Amino acid sequence: MVASRRLMKEHEEIRKCGKNSHNIQVDEANLLTRQGLIVPDNPPYDKGAFRIEINFPAEYPFKPPKITCKTKIYHLNIDEKGQVCLPVISTENWKPATKTDQVIQSLIALVNDPQPEHPLWADLAEEYSKDCEKFCRILKSLQRNMGEKSLWQRLHYKGRSYSSDHKS
């Protein structure tokens, strides 16, 4: 009950803020789940929007949420299953005062600026650290099949909201 009340309050704050970097919606079938898009703004990830899912435990805010990237992404901190290595939501770093918007902003910052010191793909972290240009070339070649930028552009630039057009 505490989790649901806090999450609804946080969701309303996110909705009122109206940031262009993300659009997160409540899953009507499960109030402890949020789905939406994040839009990184730094190269090389600025060419796509990425669908995410945030699952909050019933013990939230005393336990951290789990984030899954539903869109395939070539990123050293996000594995092939979409699991994210995000320090702010790790059990040892989690603080109950941390809000959903802070978690989302941390995720966007991580996508914008990969952290080789916290990799889920060690080989990608090594490649990124040793030869960032090669990493970016591979990423650019893969981006044709990744990301959801066209969906984001259709919804964002036509003045429509994600929630009015999308039903998961």
What positions carry a catalytic annotation?
85
Reduce the secondary structure of the chain to three states and give it as a string.
CHHHHHHHHHHHHHHHHCCCCEEEEEECCEEEEEEEEECCCCCCHHHCCEEEEEECCCCCCCCCCEEEECCCCCECCECCCCEECCHHHCCCCCCCCCCHHHHHHHHHHHHHCCCCCCCCCHHHHHHHHHCHHHHHHHHHHHHHHCCCHHHHHHHHHCCCCHHHHCCC
Distance CA 68, CA 84 (A): 6
Q: For 39, left (φ over 0), alpha (ψ -120 to 50), or beta?
A: beta
